[in-house]
Chain A
Amino acid sequence: MKYLQIITSLLFVIGTPYLGASQKSIKEYKVALSNGTLVLDDINDLEVIGYTGSDIIFMSEYEDDESSDRKKGLKLLNADGLNDNTGIGIAVNKDGKTVVASQITSDCTCEKITVKVPRSVNVNIVSSSHDGNRILVKDFENELEISTNYHDIQLENVTGPMAVKTLYGNIEGSFKKLSQTGSVSIYSVYELVDITLPRDAKANVSLSTPYGDVYTNAPITVNNVDKVKNVSTGNGAGGSVNVCSPSSKSSTINGTLNGGGVELSIKSSYEDIYLRQL
C-alpha cells in the first residue's frame, strides 16, 4: 500500500506540467476554389493531397504551449505585411482563380501543413527556404509544379503533367498512371531521382546525369547514347549507364518507352537516376 502511494505521487509530480499543455487539436481553414491555381509559397513541411471536392482545405495539428495564452487575440504578422488569417501560421489570399498560401512564421519547427486540393486545381509549390523538410504530394492528377532549393520531394500516385525541381533534395516518385498531356520533368541537382512508372507508361524519355549513373528496368528504346558504356534493363541491380564526361550535351539518353508518348525528362546532375517499372 505504501509503495502504491509512492508511485501515485511520483506520477502526479511528473505528469502535472503536461496535463494542461498537451491539448492537441487539428485546425482547418477552407477556401473555395474548384478551378484555378493554388500557389504554396515557402511552406517548410508540406503535404498536398488531391481529393474530390470544391474547397482547398488547409490543416495543421495544433498544440497549445506555454505561449498560447500570451498570443491570444493577436495575429502573426511578417515583413511582407502578411497576416496569419488561418490560425495555423500561414496567410491565405485569393485573387480570382488563384489562391496563394504563404508561411509567415519564422519558427522552423512549425507543424506540418496538410492541404487537400480539389483534383481540378493546379498546384504550384515554390520554396527557397533553408528550412525545407519534405514535400509530399499524393493522389494528385492535375498540373503540378514544384520549384524548391532544399526540400526532398515525394510523389505518390501522381499522374502528371508536372515540372518538379529541387537543388539539394532527392526526388522519389511512384506513378500508377502517366498522363499524356503537357510534359513531365523531374530534376535534382545534387541528389538522386528515383521514379517508378506503370508498366504501360508511354513516353519519350530523356535521362540526363552528367556525374551519375542511370539504373533502370524499363525497356527503353534508346535513340542515341553519347559517351555511355552500358544500359541496364535488368532488375536494376546490375547494370548502369556510366557517363565519362560531365557534359550536359553528351550525357543524355534519349529514347522511347512503349513506343513513345508524353515528354518525360529526368535529370540529376551529381547523383544517380533510378527509373523503375511496376
Chain B
Amino acid sequence: MNIDQWEDKIISYLEGDLESVMKQEITEAANKNKEIEALWISYRSIYNTIDNIPTAETCDTLKSNFGTFLKKEIDTQESKKITGNKVIAIPAWKKIMTIAAVLVGLLFIWNTNQNNQDINNNLAEVNTQLEQILDTKSSTEKIKVIRVSHDNQSPSNDENTKQLLVNVLKKDPSSNVRLAAVEALANYTNDDKIREALIKALMVEKDGFVKLALIKTLGSQFDHDIADTFEEIVNDKTNEKFIRDEVEKELFRHNKIES
C-alpha cells in the first residue's frame, strides 16, 4: 500500500467512516512507519483545529428575516417558473372579435375585388354600348350617349372611353356629334394625350362651331404647344375671321398679345 492510499484511509478514519479493525491497522502502521506516522499526526492536527473553531450562534430576528427572504425568493422563483411556462389564456369574446375582424377583412378584400370587377365590367359594358351606338347613324343618339356617359359632374377616367371620344372627334361625319365629343373631352384637358389630340383636331377641323369649341377647350388649359398652335392659326389668313378673332381673344387672355 502506497502512501496515497494510507492518506485516504487516515482521512476516512478522522471523518469517522472506518471500522475499528481498520482504525487499529492505521494505528499500528503509523507506529511502524514514520512517514505514515507524520501523515497521521498532520491530518489529526488539522481535524483537531477545525473541531476547535467556535460556532457563531445566529439571533432569532436574523433567522426570521432570512426565512422570510428565503420564502419570498422561493415564491418569486416559482412565479417566474409559472410565467415562463404558462399558456396565455385569451377570453372567448376576444377570440370571437378576432375571428370577426379577420372575416370582415376577408369580406372587404373580396368586396373590393368584386367592386373593381363590377367597375371594370361596367366600364367595358359602357364602352361596348358606346362603340355600338357610335356605329349607328343617329346623331342625336350618339350625342345622348356621349353626354350621359361623360357628364362633367362625374367624368370617366377610363383610357378606352377617352380613346373612343378621340375617335369620334376624328371620324364622325356629323359636326354636332364631334361637338359633343369636344365637350366631353373638355373634362380631360389635363391629360397630355387628350390635349395633343385636341390640337391635332383643331388643325384639321372644318366646322367653325367645332373649331370654336376646340379653341375654348384648349384655352382653358393653356401651354406652349397650344400657344404655338394658336399663333399659327392667327397668322394663317385662310382661317375664317371669327376663328382668328376667338384665338386672339384666348391669346390675349393669356397675355400672349399686347392689347
A contacts, CB < 8 Å to B: 37, 122, 124, 128, 143, 145, 147, 149, 160-163, 165, 167, 181-185, 187, 189, 223-224, 247-249, 254, 263, 265, 269
Please name the 9 residue pairs, one residue from A and one from B, whose CB atoms are nearest each other, closest first. A182-B140, A163-B176, A161-B140, A183-B144, A183-B143, A147-B175, A183-B140, A182-B141, A165-B209
Question: Which B residues between 205 and 223 are near A, CB-CB below 8 angstroms?
Answer: 207-209, 212, 216-217, 220
Q: Is the beta-carbon distance between A187 and B209 smaller than 8 angstroms? A: yes
Residues of chain A within 8 A (CB-CB) of B186 are 248-249
Instruction: Please count how many residues in chain B sit with their CB below 8 Å of the partner chain's CB atoms.
Output: 26
Chain B, interface SS category: helix
Most chain B beta carbons < 10 A, residue from A165, A265, A269: A165
Other-chain contact of A162, B140, B147, B220 (Cβ < 8 Å): B140
Residues of chain A within 8 A (CB-CB) of B141 are 161, 181-183
Q: Is the beta-carbon distance between B144 and A248 smaller than 8 angstroms? A: no
Residues of chain B within 8 A (CB-CB) of A147 are 174-176, 207, 209
B contacts, CB < 8 Å to A: 137-141, 143-144, 147-148, 152-153, 174-177, 179-180, 186, 207-209, 212, 216-217, 220, 242
Residues of chain A within 8 A (CB-CB) of B152 are 249
Q: Is the beta-carbon distance between A163 and B209 smaller than 8 angstroms? A: no
Residue in chain A with minimal CB distance to B180: A185
Other-chain contact of B143, A37, A185, A189 (Cβ < 8 Å): A185
Q: A145-B174, A248-B186, A249-B220 are in contact. Are A128 and B143 (CB under 8 A)?
A: no
Bound form: Cα–Cα A269–B195 in Å: 23
* 7 additional A-B residue pairs with CB within 8 Å, beyond A128-B208, A182-B138: A143-B139, A163-B177, A182-B140, A187-B179, A248-B217, A249-B220, A263-B148
Q: Is the beta-carbon distance between B179 and A143 smaller than 8 angstroms? A: no
Bound form: Cα–Cα A269–B174 in Å: 21
